[in-house]
Amino acid sequence: MLKQTLGSAIFLFCLAFNLSNALTCAPCENEDLEECEPLEELKSHCEPKMGVWCDCCDRCALKEGRACNTYEVGCESHLDCVDIKGTGMIKNEIKWHDFRFKGKCTDLQKEGLRKFTDRYGRQWIEGSQLYRKPPNPWLN
């Protein structure tokens, strides 16, 4: 029984290890990079951002009002990707497992909004409906 359990555990570990390797990208080859727009040329008309998933090329960052999600390159550096569902969640580094997140590139300063980071490292719009900053017991 112990041998069977140990064998199953080793099999599951190997399976999980292989699956995690499947989620990594192969290194970019020179042929891949030759297809990219030169960085200096890209900088002349937009803010370059690293491509998504396994894209080897830099791409133009998204402008204000554009949709941002897992499948798009990020917003320009002065913009934040704000959840379109109205939760107030901000995601500027959208990971592959956030595939359902849909946002809009927003200039919070222009909108008169402020953001904060909760204790888990997530960013929110201050006063948003989904997350309210807990009151500080030391101020009462």
- Determine, yes or no, domain membership for 110: yes
The reply to whether 72 falls in a domain is yes
Average pLDDT over residues 96-111: 89
77 within a domain of the structure (yes/no): yes
**113: helix, strand or coil:** coil
Residue 81 belongs to a domain: yes
Sign of the four-CA dihedral 116, 121, 124, 128: negative
Q: What is the pLDDT of residue 18?
A: 45
Q: What is the pLDDT of residue 10?
A: 52
37 φ, ψ to 5°?
A: -70, 135
Helix (H/G/I), strand (E/B), else coil: 116:
strand
Residue scoring higher pLDDT (43 or 99): 43
117 strand-pairing partners: 123
Strand bridging mode 48-50 / 58-60? antiparallel
CA–CA gap between residue 63 and residue 112 (Å, rounded) = 18
Domain residues for the domain of 133 are 64-140
Least confident of 83-87, 100-104, 132-136: 132-136
Burial of 13 (0-12, 13-18, 19+ CB in 10 A): exposed
Report if residue 56 sits inside a domain: no
Question: 32 lies in a domain?
Answer: no
Number of domains in the chain: 1
What are 36-49's pLDDT values in tens digits?
A: 899 899 999 999 99
